[in-house]
Amino acid sequence: MEAKVKSLTEVTEPLIEINDLSVEFQTSTNDKVIALNKVNLTVHKNEFICVMGPSGCGKTTLLNTIAGMQNITSGSITIGGKNIEKPSPERAVVFQNDAVFPWMTVEENIGFSLKMQKKSKQEIQQTVNQFLHLVKLEDFRHAWPKQLSGGMRKRVDIARAYAANPKVLLLDEPFGPLDIMTKEHLQEELRRLWMQAPRTVIFITHDLEEALFLGDRIVVMTPRPGKIHSVYKPNFPKNRDMSIKTSSAFVDFRKRIHAILKQEEAEGSETK
C-alpha cells in the first residue's frame, strides 16, 4: 500500500508495479545490508515520478532494480505485467555522469541506440532531427562532446536515452554536478521535453525543489532500510516554468516535505 497519497485525481493505466520489493547486500565482512525493505509502489503510464530521501536510503538501488541491473531478494517488479529479469532497451538509464561517447558527434550519439536496433537510415535521421530540435542542439549536430558545455552534454545524454524510444526513463541525479542556473534551465527543458514526448519517468534527486518542480508525484523514502514514507501529488500546472517556485502552493509543499526529511534525518542519527 502506498502511504498518504495526496489528492490523486487522475487515474491512468498502471505500468510499473513494485510489490513488497526487498533488496539485501552481503558485505565483504559477510554482514547483511538491507537496502530496500518491502517497498510498494505503482507508477502509471507517462507519469513523472521523483524519488527523494536521505543518503543511503536505497534510491539508487531502487532505480537499478527497475533497470534490471540489480537482483531482487524478495518481492517483484513488473512492467506491463511482465517481471523484470535483466536490463532492456525498454528502460533507458541516465546517470549523474553523462554516458556520451567522446568519439561520436552529437548526432551520432543520439542515433547510436537506433543504429543498434538496426533501424533504417531514414528513420534514424528523422528521430535524430526530432530530438536535436527538442533539446535545441540543431546547430551542434556535428560537434564533438569535448566542444560542449556540461549542460549541453547532459542534453545530448537525455536525447540519446529518449531517442531509443524506451517505455521508461530512469534518471539517477542527472543534474547533480551542474551549477544552479544550468540545473534550472535543464529542469525546464526536461519538463518541456516530457510534455512534448510523454514517457514514464522515474527521477532520483536529493534536491527537494527539483523534485517538486519536475514530478507529478514525489515519493519520500525513509532512512535505511529503505521503505516508502509518503507519496505526494502536488497538482501543479502540467505546463510549468520556474515561476511556480515562488507560488504559495509550492512554498507550502516545500516546507512540509522539508520538515519530514529533517525529522527522518534526526531519527536516523538517533539510531546510529
Ligand X SMILES: Nc1ncnc2c1ncn2[C@@H]1O[C@H](COP(=O)(O)OP(=O)(O)OP(=O)(O)O)[C@@H](O)[C@H]1O
Output the nine-digit C-alpha cell for 113. 541506440
List strands edge to edge, sheet with 74-79: 32-44, 14-26, 74-79, 82-83
* CB 21 to ligand X: min, Å: 12
User: What are the helix and strand counts (H, E) for the chain?
Assistant: 7, 10
Minimum gap (Å) between residue 262 Cβ and ligand X: 16
Choice between 22 and 182, CB closer to ligand X: 22
Q: 122 Cβ partners below 8 Å, 6+ apart?
A: none
Is 168 within 8 Å of 16 (Cβ atoms)? yes
Choose between 25 and 265: whose C-beta lies nearer to ligand X.
Answer: 25
Cis peptide before 89 (omega within 30 of 0): no
Of the two residues 60 and 182, which places its CB atom closer to ligand X in the complex? 60
User: Which residues form the interface with ligand X (CB under 6 A)?
Assistant: 25, 27, 33, 35, 53, 55-61, 224
Q: What's the closest the beta carbon of residue 100 comes to ligand X, in angstroms?
A: 22
- Cβ nearer to ligand X, comparing 29 with 248: 29
* Least separation in angstroms between CB 170 and ligand X: 13
Rounded-to-integer distance, Cα 231 and Cα 261, Å: 13
180-196 and 150-163 helices, crossing angle to 10°: 20
Choice between 57 and 164, CB closer to ligand X: 57
CB of 65 to ligand X, least distance (A): 9
